[in-house]
Chains A and B, each alone.
Chain A
Amino acid sequence: MATTAVTEQHEPGAMVPAPFRVAEREQDTVDTWTLTLEPLEGPGPSIGPGQFMMVYAFGVGEVPISVSGPPGRPGPVVLTVRSVGAVTAAICASEPGRTLGLRGPFGTAWPIEAAGGDDVLIIAGGIGLAPLRPVVLHVLDQRAGYGSAAVLYGARTPGDLLYTDLHADWRRTVDVEVTVDTAGPDWPGRVGVVTKLLPGARFRPEQTTAFVCGPEIMMRFAARALLDRGLAPERILLSMERHMDCGIGLCGHCQLGPTLICRDGPVYPYSTLAPWLEVREL
């Protein structure tokens, strides 16, 4: 299944950050915040699900962040950011009213339209639920356009789960199963790896599209489990992450085999990625 290229690369201004004001800032977990950013100039970009923005904390640095808001509508940009270093810490600390610079959107999108009529598996690990949230929102919005739909989500601990206040709402429309790697006695849910949720999910392997995002090793195991369950490799979509600096295929820092993730990814079918995932030097 081909991924969807949404933006024309090298368009004027692709290297110049546009100013956005932080309109809302909500803490998701101890180290993760969701920011809603409003454009100070123009209507804001139309962003495909799975695409990313280069986010500039002025005076600190710039990082790629996948968009976690509803897809395809010009307007505010929603980003869920985990504080893991100096730049993301500065972004997460941006209070409402502060200004951040945004370039983009860049990269390929989840091919959610092409998956119409299919059963849908959305498999997320950790912060990987953020780039998949636009897919969830789209399926919720267009529920009749898909077969069965399930969100299978794994995280390190119950305290690391994202969007927990939304899960009950999602469950009214799609199956949502959650597991964590470790938990104390207060956690009433599952403990185990995310692939352990697959046997309980309802889907027709020959007519299912899987959207997978999380740490690369988790995606490898998830892809293998999906292949074992009979999914075709071209219907298993993964979102890859590498060190991205320019976002427009110039610097080469995000090279993976013959592709550049910022330009040709981050969303790839497993059929394309599989040979490269086996090469340790990549």
Chain B
Amino acid sequence: MKSLDISIQDMSKMEGHADLSVKVRNGIVQEVKIKLMENKRFFTQAIRNKPVQAIPQLVARICGTCSIAHTLCSIKAIENGLGIEPSEQAMNLKRLTMYGLMIRDHALHSYIFSLPDVFSKDSVLDFEGDKTKFLYDAFDIKRAGNKLSTIAAGRAVHAPFPVIGGFSKTPSQKELKGILPELEKAREKIFSILDVYNECEINYPRDTNFTAMCSDQFDFLSGSIKTTSGLSFEEEEYGALLSDVALPFSQALAYTFCGKPYMVGALARINLNKNALHKETKRDAKKYLQRFPSKNIFHNNLAQCIEILHCIDHASEIIESADFSEEKPPEIPRKECNGEATIEAPRGTLYYELSIAGNIVKHARIVVPTQQNQVNMEYDVKNLVQNSLKTMNKKEIEYAIEKLIRAYDPCISCASHFLKVRWV
């Protein structure tokens, strides 16, 4: 095909609304534009001049699916700035909250959004025969993750218990132990989808710099920033290394890291830090882990399912040895400071910088994973289309683009409200 004009609007099976434009002329892909309309709800302005205590709940409303990541990252930035060190119990509650999020959100993506692409079906609701089990497996795993966050943090969406310095309420031993059978049940179910993604032949190979915050606990909440190019940074250095890429067609900023495109997310984390996974996860996921490090973007799904297993294993261990008691969060000191933090949200590194004076936020900078993956995604779509022009028809190319973009698991609610796929 020499010239091509296709328009896919409002892509399905992803978080938020998404369009994208691709222009092919004389057999060459001339242009790929992913439109992210971040700041449409202007959260960085809205939280300015608000008291620090209000921030964790306000930023939760940036995104329905990963609200817990925004809540916990804002808390960490404030704690870092004000010099508050959460107790070990608070850290374990944060971990349980985060693991619940990962289990639920990864299951939503890997089963509901991406699995139909493997079986060439439109929807997980269309699965028939022995494949219907995947729909009900998805429900069981999501439910377990949802309950874990609900018990640890009060709710799976806009969790009310995490506050600056700790938790306003501590779950009882009975409540916590009560979730163990469901986690165990979810654990049994995850292996069939691991087999599917392990054997799946969809391949979107890509040389890129994978970047993630890595710790020896693989807890998504602590550690230092590592890259597959061999660099290592402390989290306070992260913000300075991100460069804004102004895209004239998008009101959202895209980012490069150390001046280059990069990829964040589960694939990056497993590529960089698989040795830190829970010992039982490493034992039982051995054959899947052999795939990593992987350059295949579609393996992001396999990586997410391995992370579900890890979250179940580490959460179960924490709960089994937990001896939690009511613990009052510390007083919040008044201090002029600049608090920076990164955590690993489901879709990758989330960065918060909050300047605080008199307990009021004076300036905010928030960088979400999807903005960081955008440049990478555009390159990938460009290559995919270029390499497919001779072998696929227009409809097949369109479907391949959607599969590729879905594999990245973009969160448009976080990054924006729009990503238009429009061929010009």
A binds B: no
Q: Which residues of B contact A (CB under 8 A)?
A: none
